[in-house]
């Protein structure tokens, strides 16, 4: 038994019934010493309560987690997809036997076949699952705390021009057009759109209510005239409580990535993320003079700092901005009696010098 320090954190290290148990305590050496002493005392007195924690296999806990996610997360299908890659590697291991070095092995193997960003999203899911395992009494520590995610290359963001938007909408199918229209006119996330139910859409009051947003808060988004007509047409032939239904299966839509790629291909638009339509929404609002507080509320962000990630200046706006400087500097130089060295002025100077 003992304590040790790693990355400015103190850990306890001991054995119980043939198993080695390590747990992170915090930044205080004294607290680690007290925690170790407490474990020793409980073991000696025969009332140690943590011996069963971590004795759950990852694949069994994955089932528990998915049942929870299906009622708590609109994007649970995404988690289910990522688990298909985590399970073959971690499935037969006990939660207590998943160590940082083992996770590093997963990173190394997985990054050979997919992008770093993809591996990071899978590891974020693993971290969340292990945090819940601790909360639910199935584990004592989260080894992901000692695992760093890959440094990702910045993702280029695309803001569509009006001409490109027209091309995209023209390339949409009867199934994809309402989904793209909803993204363009509401700024909703893909998961929020695909998980939308008719009970959340009030066509009379012209408002969409997002019940399970990313920050856990309810938000309301007004429906403008363009989107109202689209939603009325869908409502008129609705056969499900889900607003968006897969044209091929008749089931609620759970994925749109392939359909989105097909739309871009037909429109002749370079590959871009569906999420960029959310950026487009915010940028168009700001360009139209909408204040940032309103944009923040429509996007469902908790602070104005987050809005800055989405409210991009269009290239034309930037060109107009520097054109303002050009006019102002030229005017100021003229008013002060100082003229810019245009070609004509330089020519005159050259003649003067030659004389």
> pLDDT tens-digit profile of 293-339?
888 889 888 777 777 665 555 556 666 666 767 666 765 555 555 54
Within a domain: residue 139? yes
| 183 and 257 part of one domain | yes
Within a domain: residue 155? no
pLDDT of residue 331: 53
Within a domain: residue 110? yes
Structural domain of 38: 2-45
**Percent of the chain with pLDDT strictly greater than 70:** 82
| 285 and 330 part of one domain | no
| 173 and 273 part of one domain | yes
| 181 and 285 part of one domain | yes
pLDDT of residue 250: 82
Task: Assign 191 a pLDDT band (cuts: 50, 70, 90).
Answer: confident
| 86 and 31 part of one domain | no
Tens digits of residue pLDDT in 8-18:
778 888 776 66
pLDDT of residue 153: 77
What value does the mean pLDDT of the chain take?
83
Q: What is the mean pLDDT of residues 56-61?
A: 91
CB atoms within 10 A of CB 16: 14
pLDDT of residue 330: 63
pLDDT of 166 above 90: yes
Q: What is the mean pLDDT of residues 220-226?
A: 94
In sequence order, the β-bridge partners of residue 19 are 16
Task: Assign 56 a pLDDT band (cuts: 50, 70, 90).
Answer: confident
| 169 and 303 part of one domain | yes
- Ramachandran bin of 268, using left for φ above 0, alpha for ψ from -120 to 50, beta for the remaining angles: left
| 136 and 191 part of one domain | no
Q: What is the mean pLDDT of residues 98-118?
A: 94
Within a domain: residue 201? yes
Half-sphere exposure of 131 (CA within 13 A, CB side): 8
DSSP annotation string for 59-105: HHHHHHHHHHHHHH-TTHHHHHHHHHHHHHHHTTSBGGG--HHHHHH
- Strands 219-222 and 2-6, by their bridges, are unpaired
Q: Rounded to 5 degrees, what are φ and ψ at 21?
A: -125, 130
pLDDT of 343 above 60: no
The domain spanning residue 121 has which CATH number? Answer: 1.10.150.130
| 336 and 302 part of one domain | no
| 226 and 285 part of one domain | yes
| 341 and 300 part of one domain | no
Rounded distance between C-alpha atoms, residue 254 and residue 244, angstroms:
9
Within a domain: residue 82? yes
Within a domain: residue 156? no
Q: State pTM to two decimals.
A: 0.61
Count of the separate structural domains present in the chain = 4
Q: What is the mean pLDDT of residues 195-209?
A: 95
pLDDT of residue 36: 80
pLDDT of 209 above 90: yes
pLDDT of 176 above 90: yes
**Percent of the chain with pLDDT strictly greater than 90:** 46
| 256 and 166 part of one domain | yes
Q: What is the mean pLDDT of residues 107-114?
A: 95
| Domain end among 90, 120, 146 | 146
Within a domain: residue 224? yes
Task: Assign 112 a pLDDT band (cuts: 50, 70, 90).
Answer: very high
| Domain end among 84, 114, 146 | 146
| Domain end among 146, 177, 207 | 146
Give all strands (DSSP E) within the chain, no chain letters.
2-6, 9-16, 19-26, 201-202, 207-210, 219-222
Greater pLDDT, 71 or 345: 71
pLDDT of residue 149: 95
pLDDT of residue 321: 62
Tens digits of residue pLDDT in 233-286:
999 988 889 999 987 888 888 889 899 999 999 999 999 999 999 989 998 888
Task: Give the pair of three-digit tokens for residue 340.
Answer: 């810019």
| 195 and 174 part of one domain | yes
Within a domain: residue 50? no
CB atoms within 10 A of CB 93: 14
């Amino acid at each position: 038994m003992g304590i040790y320090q790693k990355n400015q954190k103190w850990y306890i290290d001991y054995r119980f019934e043939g198993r080695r148990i390590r747990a992170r305590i915090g930044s205080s050496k004294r607290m680690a010493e007290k925690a170790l002493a407490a474990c020793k005392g409980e073991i000696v007195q025969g009332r140690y309560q943590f011996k069963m924690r971590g004795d759950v296999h990852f694949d069994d806990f994955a089932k528990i987690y998915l049942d929870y996610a299906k009622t708590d997360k609109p994007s649970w299908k995404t988690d289910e997809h990522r688990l298909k890659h985590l399970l073959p590697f971690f499935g037969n291991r006990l939660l207590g036997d998943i160590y940082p070095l083992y996770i590093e092995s997963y990173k190394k193997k997985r990054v050979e076949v997919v992008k770093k960003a993809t591996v990071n999203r899978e590891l974020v899911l693993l971290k969340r699952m292990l945090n819940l395992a601790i909360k639910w009494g199935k584990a004592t520590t989260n080894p992901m705390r000692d695992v760093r995610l890959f440094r990702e290359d910045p993702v280029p963001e695309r803001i569509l021009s009006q001409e490109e938007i027209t091309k995209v909408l023209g390339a949409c199918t009867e199934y994809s057009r309402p989904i793209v229209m909803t993204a363009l006119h509401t700024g909703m996330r893909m998961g929020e759109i695909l998980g939308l139910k008719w009970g959340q859409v009030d066509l009379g009051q012209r408002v969409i209510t997002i019940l399970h947003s990313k920050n856990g808060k309810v938000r309301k988004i007004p429906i403008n005239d363009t989107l109202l007509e689209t939603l009325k047409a869908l409502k008129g032939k609705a056969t499900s409580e889900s607003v968006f239904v897969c044209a091929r299966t008749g089931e609620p839509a759970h994925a749109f990535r392939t359909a989105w790629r097909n739309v871009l291909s037909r429109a002749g638009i370079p590959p871009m993320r569906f999420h960029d339509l959310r950026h487009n929404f915010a940028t168009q609002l700001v360009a139209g003079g909408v204040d940032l507080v309103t944009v923040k509320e429509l996007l469902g962000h908790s602070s104005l700092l987050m809005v800055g990630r989405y409210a991009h200046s269009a290239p034309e706006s930037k060109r107009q901005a520097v054109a303002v400087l050009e006019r102002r500097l030229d005017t100021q130089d003229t008013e002060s009696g100082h003229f810019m060295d245009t070609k004509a002025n330089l020519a005159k100077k050259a003649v003067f010098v030659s004389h």
